[in-house]
Amino acid sequence: MYQENKPFDVSPYDHPDIYPGPRPASSFLFWKGRAHRIQAEKGMPVERQSIHFTNVDHMLGSLAFQSTHVKKVEKFFKEGRFHSKVPVVAYGSNVCLAQLQYKFRLRPEEDDFMLCLKGTVTDSDIVYAPFLAPYGSLPAVIAPVKGAVCEVWLTFMDKKQLELINSTEKGYELRVHEGEKVRLDTGEVFENVYAYYEPRALLWNGEMRRFKDISGHSPLQSVWQSEMLNELKLAVDHKGTREEFIHLLRWDRSYRDFVEDFLKDDCTYAFDHPDWKVAETILSIGEMKRSF
């Protein structure tokens, strides 16, 4: 089972215990399959932040290896390209490096150039969903939890990248948050941010449960994906081994439907999150206000 110290080169597509994936220690630029550390300074807008590059050919890039040169975000982008980006909240596996590699390999013609900056969301928490991902994990949803402060990331995508990520988030709806409850660690706030929304959460023993991988302050209990799958195995009274159970979740559609029917009927909490509204239009950075 994977719990602490999840490997960076294994994605949830490889094993469901990995979900939502290890979180990098700092903001980063994902480009050409590697992570390049961003030196996120408080009070400074995104385009003036510094990106550290390394010549080492490794997925962790300058997150793990010494940088050889530094460039400002605004210098690295082509003219106007940054302001055409859309700020999308990543809270599940979309900041897992191995998952990003996998998703962009689905369309190798698409540029994998993506800024990922750490931040927080207030009055929300990242909790387990009452359904299964195709690879056998219980995925994440963003749910209303008054007083909670939870780590999220803002990823900056162009419209083609957004289409790619949309295609991997079947069942979720892209919603907009227009308040100031999503804030980068630098202090910057964007007028509009978007997130993949699903108005159902897993209700387990009478409460929602959050992911132990994701830092934050919340009244909810934090558990590992592997622990949730173990509890789910017991709840549906599966008599085989854990490995057999996971294999069935991943590869036997009729068995997965049986488990999802159990989750839907016995373990689902439906909600309407007041902070996330239907997105009538998708605005880019250049079309919105920003503040500190």
Rounded to whole angstroms, the Cα distance separating 174 from 171 reads 10
Share of the chain above pLDDT 70, in %: 94
End-to-end CA distance of the chain: 42
Per-residue three-class SS string for the chain? CCECECCCCCCCCCCHHHCCCCCCCCCEEEECCEEEEEECCCCCCHHHCEEEECCCCCCCHHHHCCCCEEEEHHHHCCCCCHHHCEEEEECCCCCCHHHHHHHHHCCCCCCCCEEEEEEEEEEEEEEECCCCCCCCCCCEEEEEEEEEEEEEEEEEECHHHHHHHHHCCCCCEEEEECCCCEEECCCCEECCEEEEECCEEECECCECEEECCCCEECCCEEECHHHHHHHHHHHCCCCCCHHHHHHHHHHCHHHHHHHHHHHHHHCEEECCCCCCEECCCCCCHHHCCEEC
pLDDT digits (tens, 9 = 90+) for 89-114: 999 988 889 888 887 776 665 566 77
Residue 183 to residue 171: CA distance in whole angstroms: 26
Which pLDDT belongs to residue 223? 97
Split at pLDDT 50, 70, 90, the class of 76 is confident
Q: Calculate the average pLDDT of the chain.
A: 91
Per-residue pLDDT reduced to its tens digit, 143-196 = 999 999 999 999 988 777 777 666 666 678 889 999 889 999 999 999 999 999
What's residue 83's pLDDT?
86
244-277 residue pLDDT tens: 999 999 999 999 999 999 999 999 999 999 999 9
For residue 108, the model assigns a pLDDT of 60
CA pair distance 17, 62, nearest whole angstrom: 26
Q: How would residue 132 be classed by pLDDT, with cut points 50, 70 and 90? A: very high
What does the pLDDT read at residue 135? 93
